[in-house]
Chain A
Amino acid sequence: MSALSAVSISIQRRFGRQRLRKILLGSIPFLVMIGVWHANTVFEWLPPVFIPSIGDVWEAIFFLQEDCAGFVPLIMLDNSCLMSTHILSSVGRVILAAIIGLPFGIAFGILAGMNRTVSKFLEPVGVFANSISGIAWIPLAIVWFGVGWVTTLFIMLNTIFWLMFFNSMLGVRSVARVYEQSVLTMGGSRWDVIRQVYLPGAMPSIITGMRMSMGFGWRALIAAEMIGGDSGLGFMIFTSAAEFKIEEVFLGVIVIAVIFMATDRYLLAPLEKWTVERWGLVWKPT
């Protein structure tokens, strides 16, 4: 008993009580899901053609990577390394779309937030583009750009840019006027105001926008890959399903979710912590 509590105390010291609690609470639903999944295999409620066993899904990784001959074919997106090729192709597209879409969305959003003429010019077309949700563009994009990476990139950019645009615009408009005025009365220029007031002041909205646009963008990408792609996780799921390889479909879905959770946890959440939380701009639940 005392040894056990000593271990528990040392674990708590190492990770911190709060964090440990958070990790434990968050993993309960997953543990339940895994339990039910495994129970299904044991008691055969639903046959393996519908729900494969955990072991089959695990083995699908090695099956898909079977002929992969090391690092070089892996990064060359060699057809033998099927799974890593699809992952890298999806992730690569997400990164590309983020590099282009996020800065442009933020820049135009800030511009529209501070200037009525710009917002009057861009808002209607933005509402129009947003109303046709990401996926609904797919048929048109296939007609225009054919099946392949241009189509998937177009779908993602469309989603990311406009979400970022609207969030940044609203963010700038919510910044108290007195901050802008105080920079101006200290002799600051328009550019000083943009960098020192609008950008940090709009940060809560910008981060929300990033989370939304990466979330919706990622989903739009998977959908686009299914219908209009020639590689990527969406494409992999779709082709595997057509060949009734249910374990590969499961694997694909899990990988998609894990990649997105990791992005949110290791990129967006720390950004939030180091900016808006430190500045006291958001309310932190205890």
Chain B
Amino acid sequence: MNAVSAKLVVEGLSHHYPDEYTGESVHALEDINLELYEGELVSVVGPSGCGKSTLLNILAGLLPYKVGTASVDGNIIDGPGPDRGVVFQEHAILPWRTVAKNIGHGLEIRGILKSERDRRVQEFIDLVGLTGFEDKYPHELSGGMKQRCQVARTLCSDPVVMLMDEPFAAVDAQTRITLQEELNRIAQATQKTILFITHSVDEAAFLADRCLVFSARPGQLKEIVEINIPREKRIWADMNNDPDFITARDRILKSVREEVSVAKEE
């Protein structure tokens, strides 16, 4: 790991949300330190309200922060930028653009020529299995297809790191399993550096090289669980019998459960 440079570095990051009405503030994050290395998929789990989305929004540049530093490729984060691609939890592809135009949007913004753009767009449409739907509008797609389109849009812009906030939370269980296997395949094929936030312990253990468990609010890094299973072996049919997977999952589950009970006692 040391030979590879860290793509994303967070040091001593804390965050408070002020409350306009009461004058009090919500302490969402406390002293977060983390590093994401090239080609790594790191998942973040933690009880609801522990500050996971807050972290992601800060890294995306959508939420200004005061305490600590965060940088991508050595550049301090101070606003949104194309080096960080975001996959949102909600349906975020633009309803007034076709699938192909949504996926090529990032390239269009950067002024890439149409011929080059079309070639790359087609590549990612095929990669996420949306072939044949190029000219459809988002309202003509299923929920799972919309999220695949969003993943393809982010991939197509070729960011340094990909930030994903519970991207599969809103789709049904069957589709979710397919999407997880697809993301695993994509992660292997593209070697993207990915920060993946999720509620689901299974999902975190299935996808991640490392899983970060956050404590109840204020979110702190509680534990790091490493999952050393080669990507080609990660298929749901096999994983449920894989001892390494089961160990990692149970470890994460136990850790999160403790925090959930802490959160409830408050």
Contacts A183-B109, A185-B62, A185-B86 given; indicate if A279 touches B95 (C-beta within 8 A): yes
**Do residues B86 and A181 form an inter-chain contact, with CB atoms below 8 A?**
yes
**Do residues A185 and B109 form an inter-chain contact, with CB atoms below 8 A?**
no
Min CB–CB distance B162 → chain A (angstroms): 11
Min CB–CB distance B48 → chain A (angstroms): 20
Chain B interface mostly: loop
Chain A's interface size range is 20 to 34
Chain B positions within 8 Å of A278 at CB level: 137
**B94 touches which one: A184, A187, A197, A275 (CB < 8 A)?**
A197
Chain B positions within 8 Å of A186 at CB level: 82, 85, 105-106, 109, 153, 157
Q: Mark B79-119, 1 if CB is under 8 A from A, else 0.
A: 01110111010101111100000000110011000000000
Interface size on B, residues (CB 8 A): 26
**Do residues B82 and A182 form an inter-chain contact, with CB atoms below 8 A?**
no
Is A101 in contact with chain B by the CB < 8 A criterion?
no
Is B46 in contact with chain A by the CB < 8 A criterion?
no
**Do residues B137 and A280 form an inter-chain contact, with CB atoms below 8 A?**
yes
Please measure, in the bound complex, the distance between the C-alpha atom of A203 and the C-alpha atom of B85, giving whole angstroms.
27
Min CB–CB distance B76 → chain A (angstroms): 17
**B90 touches which one: A176, A185, A197 (CB < 8 A)?**
A176
Chain A positions within 8 Å of B139 at CB level: 279-280
Q: Give the residues from 109 to 151 in chain B that come closer than 8 angstroms, CB to CB, to chain A.
A: 109-110, 137-140
Is B252 in contact with chain A by the CB < 8 A criterion?
no
**Do residues B92 and A181 form an inter-chain contact, with CB atoms below 8 A?**
yes
Is A281 in contact with chain B by the CB < 8 A criterion?
yes
Q: Give the residues from 231 to 286 in chain A that come closer than 8 angstroms, CB to CB, to chain B.
A: 275, 278-281
**Do residues B81 and A179 form an inter-chain contact, with CB atoms below 8 A?**
no
Chain B positions within 8 Å of A203 at CB level: 96
Is B61 in contact with chain A by the CB < 8 A criterion?
yes
Please measure, in the bound complex, the distance between the C-alpha atom of A185 and the C-alpha atom of B140, giving whole angstroms.
25
Please measure, in the bound complex, the distance between the C-alpha atom of A176 and the C-alpha atom of B138, giving whole angstroms.
15
**Do residues B81 and A192 form an inter-chain contact, with CB atoms below 8 A?**
no
**Do residues A185 and B60 form an inter-chain contact, with CB atoms below 8 A?**
yes
Chain A positions within 8 Å of B153 at CB level: 182, 186
Min CB–CB distance B75 → chain A (angstroms): 14
**B137 touches which one: A181, A183, A279 (CB < 8 A)?**
A279
Please measure, in the bound complex, the distance between the C-alpha atom of A188 and the C-alpha atom of B62, giving whole angstroms.
13
Please measure, in the bound complex, the distance between the C-alpha atom of A197 and the C-alpha atom of B96, giving whole angstroms.
9
Min CB–CB distance A198 → chain B (angstroms): 11
**Do residues A183 and B105 form an inter-chain contact, with CB atoms below 8 A?**
yes
Q: Considering residues A179, A186, A187, A280, which has the most beta carbons from chain B within 10 angstroms of its beta carbon?
A: A186
Please measure, in the bound complex, the distance between the C-alpha atom of A185 and the C-alpha atom of B60, giving whole angstroms.
7
Closest to A192 in B: B109
**Do residues B94 and A185 form an inter-chain contact, with CB atoms below 8 A?**
no
20 A-B residue pairs with CB within 8 Å: A178-B88, A179-B92, A181-B62, A182-B86, A182-B92, A182-B93, A182-B94, A183-B105, A183-B109, A185-B61, A185-B81, A186-B106, A187-B81, A187-B82, A197-B94, A278-B137, A279-B137, A280-B138, A280-B139, A281-B96
B residues with a Cβ closer than 8 A to A are 60-62, 80-82, 84-86, 88, 90, 92-96, 105-106, 109-110, 137-140, 153, 157
- Beyond A182-B88, A186-B153, A281-B95, 13 additional pairs, beta carbon < 8 A: A176-B90, A178-B90, A183-B109, A184-B61, A184-B62, A185-B62, A187-B157, A197-B94, A201-B96, A279-B137, A279-B139, A280-B95, A280-B138
